[in-house]
Amino acid sequence: MLRSVFLAAAGSSRLERLVESAPVSKGIVRRFVAGSEVRDALSTTRGLADDGLAISLDYLGEDTLTAEQATATKDQYLTLLGQLREAGLTPAAEVSVKLSALGQKVDDRMAYDHASQICAAAQEAGTTVTLDMEDHTTTDSTLEILAELRKDFPATGAVLQAYLRRTEGDCRELATAGSRVRLCKGAYAEPESVAYQSTLDVDKSYVRCLNILMSGEGYPMVATHDPRLIAIAEDRARWFDRSPDEYEFQMLYGCRPEEQARLAGAGHTVRVYVPYGDQWYGYLMRRLAERPANLAFFGRALTSRK
Ligand SMILES: Cc1cc2nc3c(=O)[nH]c(=O)nc-3n(C[C@H](O)[C@H](O)[C@H](O)COP(=O)(O)OP(=O)(O)OC[C@H]3O[C@@H](n4cnc5c(N)ncnc54)[C@H](O)[C@@H]3O)c2cc1C
């Protein structure tokens, strides 16, 4: 119930203006977002890399409706990749990209062209790109663009969402040599016709998908904070005899940092997804939808008026 309220709020531009203009304590945003500027992204990246973690940076923004905005987002990624390279932070850091921020909902060719330039800059910087997955109306287009990009940039990563009924099939398609696949539960409000609705069904789907990816030939990226699924992934990695450079765990910046450190300490590769930029509203609402404890934190931040 609370989840659907926040996911509906994530799409409300009126509420967005209200929340962004409220004197919300910077604490809540800072907990999940590295900061507004590239320099904030770089300093957070350095700190995480010094702790032995890998990073995927996301320049916040989605559902871009103009060509100018899409170009500006692409330019922001090119600047980021150039600076990561200069700072010696690649290959520890890669980037995550939302195609909707590159104009996918206006013209998917434009999104492909921008994504291709970002992939070229990433390759030049010695690192990779992962295409985030958004709501189910974009899944086919995103997978088509991924397939195109992989012709020139085979290391481009995909994201598959276990809550979608189609995902087991997509896992089979993508569990091929060299294919990097991030498996997550899924963060959008989706109808029953396309997505499992109960947490149990989503978790069961996650395990089925994990089995396909771990037993396949690709590179699984296990994106979850769920202790049970992490334990199952550790078990499958052992079962399928995968060494630590043949899969990785991924978690969001600000979520379960002790678990990130524990897994890294145990010899696993752990990548932290680090968002930065001003357009944090939709991202924050999805994090609030996931976890009531984040809501209490948000409430305290709102009332502290700092
Ligand atoms: C690296 C990364 C990239 C992602 N990319 C995408 C994407 O491209 N598209 C998309 O739709 N979604 C994406 N997501 C979000 C994802 O789909 C889920 O919405 C999100 O990860 C929450 O699901 P969960 O698996 O962590 O488990 P949940 O079902 O949220 O939580 C399960 C259990 O995990 C524990 N837990 C969860 N969070 C915490 C916490 N902060 N602190 C302590 N315990 C906690 C609790 O025990 C909880 O009961 C991404 C997630 C990650 C980690």
Convert the pLDDT of each residue in 240-296 to its tens digit. Answer: 999 999 999 999 999 999 999 999 999 999 999 999 998 888 888 888 877 766 666
Quick: pLDDT tens for 280-296.
888 888 888 777 666 66
**pLDDT score, position 295:** 67
Q: Is 133 in the pocket of ligand 1 (CB under 6 A)?
A: yes
> In this structure, which residue's CA is closest to atom 37 in ligand 1?
225
H or E segment at 245? none
Which amino acid makes up residue 292? Answer: P
186 in Cβ contact with 179 (< 8 Å): no
Angle, in degrees to the nearest 10, between helices 199-215 and 227-239: 20
Per-residue pLDDT for 304 more than 60? Answer: no
Confidence class for position 235, pLDDT limits 50, 70, 90? very high
Q: Is 242 in the pocket of ligand 1 (CB under 6 A)?
A: no
Question: How large is the average pLDDT for residues 160-173?
Answer: 98
pLDDT confidence of residue 305: 44
Over range 189-195, report the average pLDDT. 97
227 in ligand 1 pocket by Cβ < 6 Å? yes
Query: Which residue among 184, 196, 256, 295 is best mutated to probe the pocket of ligand 1, counting the most ligand atoms within 8 A of its Cβ?
Result: 184
**Residue 94 near residue 123 (C-beta atoms within 8 A):** no
- Tell me if 273 CB under 6 Å of ligand 1: yes
CB atoms near residue 47 (< 10 Å)? 12
What's the CA-to-centroid distance between 25 and ligand 1, angstroms? 23
- Pull the structure tokens for residue 242: 């995968």
Nearest ligand 1 atom to the CA of 273 is 1
Two structure tokens written together for 191: 């109808």
8-state DSSP, 51? T
Q: Is the CB of 185 under 6 A from ligand 1?
A: yes
Q: Ligand 1 atom 5: the closest Cα is on which residue?
A: 132
CA distance 143 to 99: 11
Which atom of ligand 1 is closest in space to residue 286's alpha carbon?
A: 19
Q: Over the stretch 202-216, which tens digit does the pLDDT of each residue have?
A: 999 999 999 999 999
Q: Which residues contact 173 (CB under 8 A, 6 or more apart)?
A: none
Q: Known catalytic residue: 75?
A: no
Distance CA 210, CA 212 (A): 5
Give the model confidence (pLDDT) of 124-158 as tens digits: 999 999 999 999 999 999 999 999 999 999 999 99
Q: How far is the CA of 110 from the centre of ligand 1 (A)?
A: 30
Beta strands in the chain, from DSSP E residues, in sequence order: 54-59, 93-97, 129-131, 158-161, 180-184, 219-223, 248-252, 270-276
> Can you tell me which atom of ligand 1 is nearest the CA of 221?
1
Q: Ligand 1 within 6 A of 158 CB?
A: no
Whole-number pLDDT of residue 44: 97
Q: Cα(75)–Cα(71) distance, rounded to whole angstroms?
A: 6
Give yes or no for residue 1 having a pLDDT over 80. Answer: no
Q: In angstroms, what CA-CA distances link 227 with 79, 110, 191?
A: 36, 39, 27
Kindly report the protein residue whose alpha carbon is nearest to atom 46 of ligand 1: 226
CA trace torsion 201, 206, 211, 215 (10° rounding): 150
Q: Which of 85, 150, 182, 287 is catalytic?
A: 182
- Give residue 194's pLDDT: 98
pTM for the whole structure: 0.92
Q: How far apart are the first and last CA of the chain?
A: 29
Q: Tell me the β-bridge partners of 57.
A: 95, 274
3-state secondary structure of 113: helix
* Active-site residue flag, 85: no
Pocket of ligand 1 contains residue 77 by CB under 6 Å: no
**Two tokens, residue 144:** 């088509």
CB burial class (10 A; 0-12, 13-18, 19+) of residue 200? exposed
Q: Which two tokens stand for residue 38?
A: 């590239």
